[in-house]
């Protein structure tokens, strides 16, 4: 599966970590509703995690450049584990909704797992292999995680909404053990010009000032915003439009994960090799737009299969392609910072996505698909103005023994 054997430990870490996260994905709106939360409150609850991650991600990205990937990854995983435990305990607290907020905030303040993992992969891979490795590790981990996690979470929800949260905590602890015992540190260049204070959050504008990055980061914004709306609001969409339970929503998300395994595990490599990062990005964005436009016309559960088909292919193709292009354009000693900036952008979209999504569903559930498809179409238009794919300018830093 991996020609570079050093990728195996990080694959295990990323997969186990995403599995813990995906277990609670279909659960949270139903869990909060049990405590009397309105759709607007549910949107704020979902956004609270992303707001805290938005604050924490640049700090964690730059700390990983300075102190190493492994210790920062451990910190992130421990915070996630504590957050899941608090989520499970919320059911026993006098003000359970407040404790749900505490749980999500705790997880968000330590939410740099994926940022550091991507920086780790960049450290140990060649630029020409990076898109394939992002697709294999991040893509397959997402696919497996979203196959097993939501399905397991949906099944466990029949025994109580706290049960999936405790299961996620156990899996998160396993991820900590995998990092501690299996993951070696990489060699990477430190950014001696790293900022402090508010500059950690405004530095994204520095990257927007780089011609090779400006439009790519705009594409990333208009790609992640509709994706976040879809992922965070699907349970409410399914409840309002199709009268799904939490268990049924989990099974559908598991089906999306199964398709992701097919696309990303066996087809993404040959597809990227044939079309290249840039054209694969365009094709993936168009497929994602088609998937959400079709979502607007879904009025029966079986039609969701077509949404899952286009959307899983589109996201599985576009995201690793765009990430590869962005990392190739970044200086070697600032990859962690650039990836941290991307995570901040994504976190920002996840702050506004549930709030926007709640407003959209209140108008009509089908609008979720129409507006999401339009946002993806904007990403296609901006990506089409990038006339030449970014060429790698530096060689990756290799860890000992390579």
Return the CATH number at 341. 1.20.1250.20
Mean pLDDT computed over every residue of the chain? 80
Average pLDDT over every residue of 382-396: 57
- Across 59-88, b (16+ Cβ under 10 Å) vs e yields bbbbbbbeebbbebbbbbbbbbbbbbbbbb
| pLDDT bracket for residue 394 (50, 70, 90) | very low
- pLDDT, position 112: 64
- pLDDT, position 290: 94
| pLDDT bracket for residue 107 (50, 70, 90) | confident
SS3 402: coil
Average pLDDT over every residue of 124-144: 73
Query: Does residue 223 or residue 341 have the better pLDDT?
Result: 223
Instruction: Tell me which residue of 155, 147, 167, 35 sits closest to 98, measured CA to CA.
Output: 35
- pLDDT, position 390: 44
- pLDDT, position 89: 92
**63 sits in which H/E element:** helix 39-67
Among the ranges given (54-63, 140-149, 391-400), the one the predictor scored with the smallest mean pLDDT: 391-400
Q: Could you give the number of structural domains in the chain? A: 1
Residue 53 resides in a domain: yes
Average pLDDT over every residue of 77-88: 91
- pLDDT, position 320: 81
Question: Does residue 113 carry a pLDDT above 80?
Answer: no
Question: Does residue 175 carry a pLDDT above 50?
Answer: yes
Q: Report the alpha-carbon distance of residue 10 to residue 179 in Å, rounded.
A: 8
- pLDDT, position 344: 72
Average pLDDT over every residue of 58-84: 84
Contact between 308 and 252 under an 8 Å Cβ cutoff? The reply is yes
- pLDDT, position 397: 41
Residue 55 resides in a domain: yes
Residue 191 resides in a domain: no
Q: Report the alpha-carbon distance of residue 148 to residue 18 in Å, rounded.
A: 10
Residue 290 resides in a domain: yes
- pLDDT, position 377: 95
Q: Report the alpha-carbon distance of residue 394 to residue 124 in Å, rounded.
A: 13
Residue 391 resides in a domain: no
Instruction: Tell me which residue of 168, 164, 231 sits closest to 17, measured CA to CA.
Output: 168
Instruction: Tell me which residue of 173, 274, 247, 237 sits closest to 366, measured CA to CA.
Output: 237
- pLDDT, position 285: 94
Instruction: Tell me which residue of 102, 103, 114, 18 sits closest to 57, measured CA to CA.
Output: 114
- pLDDT, position 219: 92
Handedness of CA 260, 362, 374, 243 (dihedral sign): positive
Q: Where does 75-220 show beta strands of DSSP type E?
A: none
391 contact partners, CB below 8 Å, separation of at least 6: 328
Q: Report the alpha-carbon distance of residue 49 to residue 69 in Å, rounded.
A: 22
| pLDDT bracket for residue 289 (50, 70, 90) | very high
- Percent of the chain topping pLDDT 70: 83
Number of Cβ within a 10 Å radius of residue 125: 22
Give the range of the structural domain holding residue 173, as residue numbers without chain letter. Answer: 7-181+204-384
Residue 303 resides in a domain: yes
Length of the chain: 402
Residue 402 resides in a domain: no
> What angle do the packed helices 113-124 and 304-329 form, to 10 degrees?
60
Question: Does residue 233 carry a pLDDT above 90?
Answer: no
Average pLDDT over every residue of 112-139: 74
Query: Does residue 247 or residue 273 have the better pLDDT?
Result: 247
Question: Does residue 399 carry a pLDDT above 50?
Answer: no
Query: Does residue 80 or residue 370 have the better pLDDT?
Result: 370
- pLDDT, position 1: 55
- pLDDT, position 300: 86
- pLDDT, position 398: 40
Residue 2 resides in a domain: no
Q: What is the pTM of this model?
A: 0.74
Predicted confidence (pLDDT) per residue in 183-222, tens digit: 777 765 555 555 555 666 666 676 776 666 778 888 999 9
């Amino acid at each position: 599966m991996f020609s570079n054997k050093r990728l195996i430990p990080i694959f295990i870490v990323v997969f186990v970590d995403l599995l813990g996260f995906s277990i609670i994905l279909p659960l949270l709106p139903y869990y909060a509703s049990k405590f009397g939360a309105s759709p607007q409150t549910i949107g704020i609850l979902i956004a609270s995690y992303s707001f805290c991650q938005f604050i924490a991600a640049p700090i964690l990205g730059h700390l990983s450049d300075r102190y190493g990937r492994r210790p920062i990854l451990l910190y992130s995983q421990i915070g996630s584990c504590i957050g899941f435990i608090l989520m499970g305990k919320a059911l026993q607290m006098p003000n359970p909704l407040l404790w749900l907020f505490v749980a999500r905030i705790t997880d968000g303040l330590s939410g740099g797992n994926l940022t550091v993992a991507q920086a780790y992969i960049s450290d140990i891979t060649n630029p020409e292999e990076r898109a394939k490795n992002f697709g294999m590790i991040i893509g397959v981990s997402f696919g497996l995680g979203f196959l097993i996690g939501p399905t397991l979470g949906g099944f466990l929800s029949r025994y109580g909404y706290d049960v999936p949260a405790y299961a996620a905590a156990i899996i998160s602890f396993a991820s900590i053990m995998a990092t501690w015992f299996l993951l070696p540190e990489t060699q990477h260049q430190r950014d001696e010009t790293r900022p402090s204070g508010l500059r950690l959050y405004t530095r994204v504008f520095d990257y927007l000032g780089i011609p090779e990055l400006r439009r790519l980061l705009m594409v990333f914004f208009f790609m992640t915003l509709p994706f976040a709306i879809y992922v965070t609001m699907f349970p409410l969409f399914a409840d309002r439009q199709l009268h799904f339970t939490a268990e049924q929503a989990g099974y559908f998300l598991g089906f999306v994960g199964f398709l992701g395994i097919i696309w990303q595990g066996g087809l993404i490599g040959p597809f990227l090799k044939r079309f290249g990062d840039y054209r694969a990005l365009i094709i993936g964005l168009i497929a994602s737009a088609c998937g959400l436009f079709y979502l607007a016309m879904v009025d029966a559960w079986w039609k969701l299969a077509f949404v899952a088909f286009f959307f899983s292919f589109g996201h599985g193709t576009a995201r690793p392609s765009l990430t590869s292009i962005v990392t190739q354009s970044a200086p070697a000693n600032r990859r962690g910072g650039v990836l941290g900036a991307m995570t901040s952008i994504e976190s920002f979209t996840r702050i506004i996505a549930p709030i926007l999504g709640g407003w959209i569903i209140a108008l009509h559930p089908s609008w979720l698909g129409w507006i999401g498809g339009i946002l993806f179409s904007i990403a296609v238009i901006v990506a089409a103005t990038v006339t030449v794919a970014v060429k790698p300018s530096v060689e990756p830093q290799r860890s000992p023994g390579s």
